[in-house]
Amino acid sequence: MKVLVTGGAGYIGSITVEQLIKGGDEVVVFDNLYQGHRDAVHPDAAFVLGDLKDRAAIDAALATHKPDAIMHFASYTLVGESMQQPFMYIGDNVTNGLNLLQSALAHGVKKFILSSTANLFDKPERMPIDENERIIPGSPYGESKNILERILYWLDRTQGMRYACLRYFNACGASAERGEHHDPETHIIPLILQVALGQRQDFAIFGDDYPTPDGTCVRDYIHVIDLAQAHILALRALNEGSRTYNLGNGRGFSVKEVIDTARAITGHPIPTRVVARRPGDPAVLVASSEKIRRELGWTPQYPELRTIMETAWNWHLAHPHGYAK
């Protein structure tokens, strides 16, 4: 299968491209390199430097490469930034997605995978969170993904577009060749590992008085390769109909557990300081992945936090400055 991957130079997109190619698929990466890195793109993938704001550029890529399916990762993704710049998220994320979907239908591409988000669930009524949980987006970023999910629902009903929406929690870890490099970095595991690398003085814990066993927030972490494989399994299943899945390990780990695991792996003391809670941070967020396990046979290869962090640490040791030359 030939797959066009938007955002294929980014963290999750590039590792999904890697996994697609390992599985024998042909891949075209469409990325504007706003947050992505050219060096992250697999050498066997075709690369198109383009922006989803430019409908003509999308049309040209689809006309030239004629993909069978699209995986859509390209997006503004910072929850905090979306609270400050809502139009950038509800506006650009949705408009860019519409450009891509309109072009896909115009070129006969009717298989679409949306990289969605667990930020759809701001106030879950049950834990772990399954696909039947009520949707209350926690930010303009989450709302932008919700809107795209609803658009896909109607395109399935009216145009025969087959889609899968994958909502996931904290992606982490690395493959041997590709890892996590954001600027600015906001994710917990690379921030902690930057302390171990001597690039950051300490790690800030946002609150230690939550109603959890050690007082810090509990989150669900999923290895990026497991996440990529879930996207690929969902793509293979589209002939049997559209679908939506929540993705996670099904287990929660506290911030202190993540820090202690990093200390054990790196041998670094990793100094910490406790600062005020961030507004809106729930005490516990854990996903139920029972549906995708049952329907598609998805089984995480990296269920243990230590293994996940070891892959991240090995990549950061080999690439202490990320993809920077």
**Active site members:** 141
The radius of gyration of the chain's CA atoms, rounded to the nearest angstrom, is: 19
Residues with Cβ within 8 Å of residue 194, at least 6 apart in sequence: 185, 200, 316
Q: What are phi and psi of 224, to 5 degrees?
A: -65, -30
Helical H runs in 93-180? 94-106, 140-159
- For 244: left if phi > 0, alpha if psi spans -120 to 50, otherwise beta; the answer is beta
Whether the CB-CB separation of 178 and 319 falls below 8 Å is answered with no
Tokens in use for 154? Answer: 């109607």
The dihedral sign for the CA sequence 49, 52, 54, 59:
positive
Helix axes 11-22, 224-236, angle to 10 degrees: 60
Q: Which of 193, 192, 194 lies closest to 205, judged by CA?
A: 192
Tokens in use for 108? Answer: 């006969």
Q: Which of 280, 223, 293, 286 lies closest to 251, judged by CA?
A: 286
Q: What is the dihedral of CA 269, 275, 280, 284, to 10 degrees?
A: 40
Whether the CB-CB separation of 222 and 303 falls below 8 Å is answered with no
CA 106 to chain centre: 27
Q: How far apart are CA 4 and CA 108, in angstroms?
A: 13
Q: How far apart are CA 192 and CA 97, in angstroms?
A: 33
